[in-house]
Amino acid sequence: MRKKFSANTGFLWPDLSFIDRIFRAADTGFDGLEFHDEAQRHDLASVRSALAQTGLPVIGMNIRMGETLGCAGIPGAEEQALLDFKDALRIADALDVPNIHVLAGRVDTPASLDVLERNLTRFSEMTHRNILLEPLCRRACENYPYSRLSEAAAIIKKTGIPNLRLMFDTFHVRSEEDDLLGSYLSHSEQIGHVQISSWPDRGMPGPDDLSLNSFLSEVKTEWVGCEFKDPASSARPPKL
């Protein structure tokens, strides 16, 4: 199965406007798109027009991130978390986005997982779309409730939510785990989306990254997200 690559507009082409990034993704050969939370801050009609002109599907998006990187696990922020999810769901429904990444927020309290689990349960009752949890490594994000795959996987198992899945980001996994491919295979049944980048610089991956090449040969998902940073604005779909 040929892999399809989605351009992550949250990192790629930072010198361009959000709408122009959509067109750049099409011009440079990407098969689709994935957003951070840019769509929530833009006119939906303009986004739909750009997508119609390019023909690119949107594979995933985040709920509102803000300074705390979401708030679904922050005690006392339950109503804001619900508003954030409803806003993301409104856009996901309009653009037929299959995956919504719910961010827990930077929070350092034992109660965060209980709050997150309650929020995830009520979110899941509102949609059939996949809800994603992404472990964020400690080198990139301090005080996040889960940094390892096993921690996020435990939330999925405990809640029993059928449309709750893992986001497998190779940058975060490589920062926390010893075996990239082994980590993927151990959790493959729970993984809803995969994102790639080089490590440790989070740049555009190249053909000399043997570990990533070996990993992609085993990936079962059709889509692979390109969430890498490209200061030179020369991003292209990887040739791996």
Give per-residue pLDDT as tens, 71-84: 999 999 999 999 99
**What integer pLDDT is reported at residue 239 of this predicted model?**
76
Residue 188 DSSP symbol: G
64-226, what's its fold? TIM Barrel (3.20.20)
**How far is the C-alpha of 184 from the C-alpha of 130, rounded, in Å?**
18
Helices 44-54 + 18-27 axis angle, to 10 = 10
* Confidence (pLDDT) at 240: 65
CA distance 150 to 148: 5
Average pLDDT over residues 191-208: 91
Q: Tell whether the model's pLDDT for residue 112 goes beyond 80.
A: yes
Token pair for residue 220? 């079962």
Give the pLDDT mean for 96-122. 96
Residue with tokens 């959000």: 18
CA dihedral sign of residues 201, 88, 69, 194:
negative
Q: State pTM to two decimals.
A: 0.96
Q: Dig out the tokens for 10 from the structure.
A: 């949250």
Cα distances (angstroms) measured from residue 235 to each of 6, 24, 55, 145, 222: 12, 9, 19, 31, 20
Residue 168 parent element (H or E): strand 164-169
**Per-residue pLDDT tens over the stretch 153-180:** 999 999 999 999 999 999 999 999 999 9
